[in-house]
Structure 1
Amino acid sequence: MNTANARIALITGGNRGLGKNAALALAAEGVDVVITYRGNRAEAEAVVADITKLGRRAHALQLDVGVVGSFEAFAQQLRDVLRQQWQREQFDYLVNNAGVGIHASFAETTEAQFDELVNVHFKGVFFLTQTLLPLIADGGRILNVSSGLARFSFPGYSAYGAMKGAIEVLTRYLAKELGARGIAVNVLAPGAIETDFGGAAVRNSAELKQQIGALTALGRVGQADDIGGVVAALLSPAMGWVNGQRVEASGGMLL
């Protein structure tokens, strides 16, 4: 395998859910993958093993995207991995996927909950991307993961939705400022997905799944498999002229 010419993606929160599915979908398209995980190393290593079975190289690194002070050390770890495993100084695709789900009404949202959402979903994305800019190859891509909740509103997600709205604005600014390097930046907004995210609220409630399905043109809630392929498509060479765009993958929710 020619590691020097391999396309390499870094996916935050790639050990589970949508991040895991995206990692496997990219590997199936011939992309090597570095995933991050916050605490479950065994889970992350299992994803690495699955990617290896697909014939691609992979590595897992620990990272808490809510702790900005750890980013410089993480970037150095990533440099070392790129040199040792790929004989490369840079990677091609950054997917800012890691997140936490907090459900609370506007009236009951605490400052601690708000701060956690800011740190993970906005501040972390902002400064991790900034820190990794020297490691992203010219002509590369950045894909930020937002949510359908930045377009439509459901009670209990005011803080979460607001953070994702901020990410969507940031995406346009990044596309503008990084264009000189040929780096395209887009945002992917999944709809309701049946995973363990946010305490598996969608997956565990038949009533909620039925309600969401009734609001969705394709008549059901999303699966992780519905999203991984979209990530791979948006990062494919054929999509290089798409820049500064919001792509919603919700099956046509609340049209």
Structure 2
Amino acid sequence: MKKRIAFLASDAQMAQDARDRLIKTYGNAAPRDADVVVALGGDGFMLRTVKNLQHLDTPVYGMNRGTIGFLMNTYHEDDLLARLADAQEEVINPLAMRAMDQSGKLHQALAINEVSLLRAGPQAARLKISVDGRERMAELMCDGALLSTPAGSTAYNYSAHGPILPIGADVLALTPIAAFRPRRWRGALLPKIAKVRFDVLDADKRPVMADADSVSFPDIDWVEISSEPSIKHRILFDPGHGLEERLISEQFT
């Protein structure tokens, strides 16, 4: 039976043009009626798409029409049905973030890649780190810190010299960003079920923002982060080009 496909595209003209051509060839279904969603853009658009469609439990197949495409497949138009039939599925659990700002407002967001805390002023941030309710570091002076999933470990985490994690690993990477004290601390690997809390010390003088996959909240007082196993993002990849292969290849480039 022919798959019902919903084509979604970023605002980039290249992505919009590709969507128009694909719809003429394959038709177009509403996302709620589709067997598969094809996302045209870069990684940022892919992240937004899977989050927006998580209530549908529909797999998403990305084709790269952006500048970065770690989560995307190569763009081809003529063999799409065969590629969708052969595609391999990866299931990713996001991180759930709860962040309290200094006015007492609670913010919540999900992150497939990472949750990061970043200094928002000229002075280094001062953070206290607790894991599962136990204080693990009384003070980290830094430009920031992040907690990354395996899927996001080659993104911001890798740029901050954090480890690349195998996609099936039940661990999270806690990585400092430009740590000043303790200067030689390189971070930690934590169980996927760990609950991590950052408390911002001296927040008035050293403001900090929280960011969950580019969704940002300023003037943060504390942040709590945990994996959310009840939410499952279904992402499709061409055979031999899944996340596991991409994560391994990234370490040999």
Q: TM-score, normalised by structure 2?
A: 0.29
Greater radius of gyration (CA): 2
Q: Is the helix fraction higher in 1 or 2?
A: 1
Q: Is the strand fraction higher in 1 or 2?
A: 2
